[in-house]
Homo-oligomer: A and B are copies of this chain.
Amino acid sequence: MSEQGARASGGPRQASAIFAATLDLLAEQGYEGLGIESIASRSGVNKTTIYRWWPSKDAVLAAALVHSDLLAFAMPDTGSLRGDLLALTREITQLLTGEQTAPIVATVLAAAPRRPELAAVAHTFFAERLTREQPMFQRAIERGELQPSVDPAMIMDLLAGAIWFRILLRDQPMTPEYLSSAVDLVLQGTAATR
């Protein structure tokens, strides 16, 4: 059982209410509007109870993110690396633009550089994603679509990075044509790599 799970085991129903209130408040008011006070009032759970489990708003938020399925994702298995990467890039786009997920992702990443607990959630999230993506690349190698020397992390850095950069930093719309061009460019680049 995780540390958060153990902490919350005294009152799992209250923990769910606290997590839901935390993510709702984050989406509505951003990181700066989030506080133990407002979480207590929204969830109907006593402030002292919340502090007993989590010492800070960052700790509650980190636990809420880990326990939520908002950031959950299915690993595609379409039969080709191209199909798998297209599915993944569509899903990353959805995460960054979806009504429920976009405000959460943006504010957590915004706050993370100076918030060690949130940074740890982000780093763990991306490390876990990469671990779960490995079988996709392994299948591609077995099908002869990818050379074993290519670093899967770099492929994901390039594709996920381009989507992040374009949506969040350039504020440009994402199109299916852009995603397929980017996937094709990277696949052709990896095919030529030796």
A residues near B, CB below 8 A?
A: 30, 32, 103, 106-107, 109-114, 119, 122-123, 126-127, 150-151, 153-154, 156-166, 168-172, 178, 181-182, 184-193
Contact = CB atoms under 8 A, between A and B. Distances in A.
9 contacts: A123-B169, A123-B170, A126-B170, A154-B162, A154-B181, A157-B165, A157-B166, A188-B192, A188-B193
Copy tally for this chain in the complex stands at 2
A123 B182 CA distance: 21
A131 to B, nearest CB: 12
A117 to B, nearest CB: 14
Given A109-B169, A161-B166, 12 more contacts: A126-B169, A153-B172, A157-B162, A157-B166, A158-B159, A158-B161, A158-B186, A160-B161, A161-B162, A162-B162, A185-B190, A188-B192
